[in-house]
Every structure is written in structure tokens, then in C-alpha cells.
């Protein structure tokens, strides 16, 4: 019984970690050989901007399986299923044993629902609870999870947003920086010298705020453009280093997906503060 409770507590940590990182998150990485590349040193800044924009393709839905791993004060891994409807919803389902779902996180444009099936309890709150008033959209979170560049609150960096970014060349590639930056932090996307997006870095502008680092690996060409199939998010919560790794299987695009955030009957609602309290245990 003690082992059962210990494992179920870890699942709650894992779900809480995804929920907390998903709406505030934002790395370095090794390159992938699965996408077309260019010699960026031969391009000027305008050409680099167009290269960034041309890589970003439109999509409607995505679904995949894979695994998820939490490391740090609490460590655990589980198989998972992921479903996305562009700009509308993200569903991450934890299925550690024989495909049985033990927990589910659903993020929509206006809410976040966290369902803990082992304890028969749930958290349901407005999405602004975690975004802290920033204009973070579901589309932004999807781009973070897939390794696509975006302008916070405005959408993915495609041909319509080339004038909203600045290119800063460097020896090993270039950085793409959205022109409109929040007051509380700055963020930018790193590209290697072959023109592949490899990082997302978020730095606080002052104080001892949390720094987020995201590394993108195993990038493959998809109907949505280059998409990372392995994402590593690193940060610290309550002074403790924490890492979250999403490792996707092959993805299926633009087919019908089920977005279910129904709360099972007789489940007990927990307050949003439970998200933070999980990391103090």
C-alpha cells in the first residue's frame, strides 16, 4: 500500500509539472539530420528571417504516443498520449501500465483541467491562473511543445510575422528575437549554423525569477514543418532543479482528435494551490 501511494503521489507531481511548465515555459541541443538545412553564413538578416518563416507550416490537429520523464527532487517516467487541436486544446494523458490512464491534463484557450484518477480528484481553473496575466495562448504552448518559433500572444512566426522579429547572427548560427518583449522576461529562439531551431531561452529581466531552458532534438520534417520529437525543459521550482522530457513517437496530422475534459462523477475538486504544494512534499 505504501508503494502504491508513493507512485500515485509521483503521478500528481508529474501532472503538476506539466501544467506549471506548459503555460510559463520556455534551451541548447544537438542538431538533427532529419530536416533540410542551409548554410546560414551565406545569408543576410532578411534572408534568415524568410528562412525562419518558410519553415513554419499550417496544421489543424496532431496526435501521438510516447513517453514523459520528470527529473529532480521527484523522478519518474511514464508512457503518454498527446492530442492537440491547433490554437484550441492540448491533452496529455499518462498511461504508465498497460495503457490504462491514471491522469490527464487538458489545456484549452480558457481553462486548465488536471484529473488525478488514482485519488479521484481534479483541479479546474482559468488558464490565466498559470499564465500570470501574460498573453500566453494555447498556440504558444503548442509551439513550445513542438519546437516552433512564435511571437507571444500573436501566433507562430510565419510569413505574416517576419516584420515582428529581429535576427542576430553569431558564430555558431543566429538568434531570432521577437521585437515585442514582455516586461518581466525576455525570450529568444536559437538556430544553429545549418538553420535549424535548437533552443528557446527565457531570462528574467530583474530579480531572482525563474529561468527556463528548452532544448529541441530529433527534429523531423512534418506537415507542420520541422517539429522536435524530443523536448527537454529545464527550470527550478522552489529552489529545486527540475527537468521535464517529452519523447514523441511518430505523429499523425490533420485527422479527427478527441478532446475530452469531462470531470468523472464523484471526483473531489482541489484548489489551485495544490499545484504548488505538490512540490513541497
Q: Quick one: cell of 92? A: 496529455
pLDDT digits (tens, 9 = 90+) for 52-78: 899 999 999 999 999 998 887 667 788
Per-residue pLDDT at 31 exceeds 60: no
- As a whole number of Å, the end-to-end CA separation of the chain is 18
Q: Where are the domains of the chain?
A: 2-273
| Averaged pLDDT, 85-113 | 90
- C-beta of residue 32 within 8 angstroms of C-beta of residue 222: no
- Look up the CATH number of domain 2-273: 2.50.20.10
CA geometry: angle at 233 spanning 228 and 235, to 5°? 165
- C-beta of residue 69 within 8 angstroms of C-beta of residue 80: no
pLDDT digits (tens, 9 = 90+) for 110-163: 888 889 888 898 888 887 766 666 788 999 999 999 999 999 999 999 988 999
Amino acid at each position: 500500500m505504501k508503494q502504491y501511494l508513493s507512485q500515485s503521489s509521483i503521478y500528481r507531481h508529474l501532472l503538476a509539472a506539466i501544467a506549471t511548465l506548459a503555460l510559463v515555459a520556455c534551451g541548447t541541443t544537438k542538431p538533427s539530420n532529419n530536416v533540410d538545412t542551409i548554410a546560414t553564413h551565406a545569408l543576410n538578416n532578411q534572408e534568415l528571417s524568410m528562412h525562419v518563416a518558410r519553415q513554419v507550416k499550417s496544421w489543424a490537429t496532431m496526435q501521438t504516443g510516447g513517453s514523459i520523464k520528470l527529473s529532480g527532487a521527484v523522478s519518474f517516467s511514464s508512457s503518454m498520449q498527446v492530442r492537440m487541436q491547433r490554437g484550441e486544446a492540448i491533452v496529455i494523458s499518462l498511461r504508465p501500465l498497460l495503457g490504462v490512464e491514471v491522469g490527464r491534463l487538458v489545456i484549452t484557450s480558457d481553462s486548465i483541467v488536471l484529473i488525478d484518477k488514482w485519488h479521484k480528484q481534479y483541479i479546474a481553473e482559468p488558464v490565466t491562473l498559470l499564465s500570470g496575466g501574460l498573453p500566453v495562448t494555447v498556440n504558444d504552448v503548442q509551439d513550445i511543445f513542438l519546437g516552433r518559433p512564435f511571437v507571444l500572444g500573436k501566433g507562430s512566426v510565419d510569413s505574416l510575422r517576419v516584420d515582428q522579429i529581429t535576427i542576430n547572427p553569431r558564430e555558431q548560427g543566429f538568434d531570432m528575437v521577437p521585437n515585442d518583449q514582455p516586461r518581466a522576461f525576455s525570450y529568444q529562439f536559437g538556430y544553429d549554423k545549418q538553420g535549424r531551431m535548437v533552443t528557446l531561452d527565457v531570462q528574467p529581466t530583474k530579480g531572482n525569477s525563474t529561468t527556463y531552458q528548452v532544448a529541441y532534438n530529433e527534429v523531423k520534417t512534418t506537415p507542420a514543418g520541422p517539429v522536435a520529437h524530443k523536448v527537454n525543459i529545464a527550470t527550478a521550482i522552489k529552489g529545486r532543479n527540475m527537468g521535464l522530457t517529452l519523447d514523441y513517437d511518430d505523429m499523425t496530422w490533420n485527422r479527427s482528435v478527441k478532446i475530452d475534459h469531462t470531470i468523472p462523477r464523484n471526483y473531489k475538486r482541489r484548489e489551485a494551490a495544490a499545484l504548488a504544494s505538490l512540490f513541497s512534499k
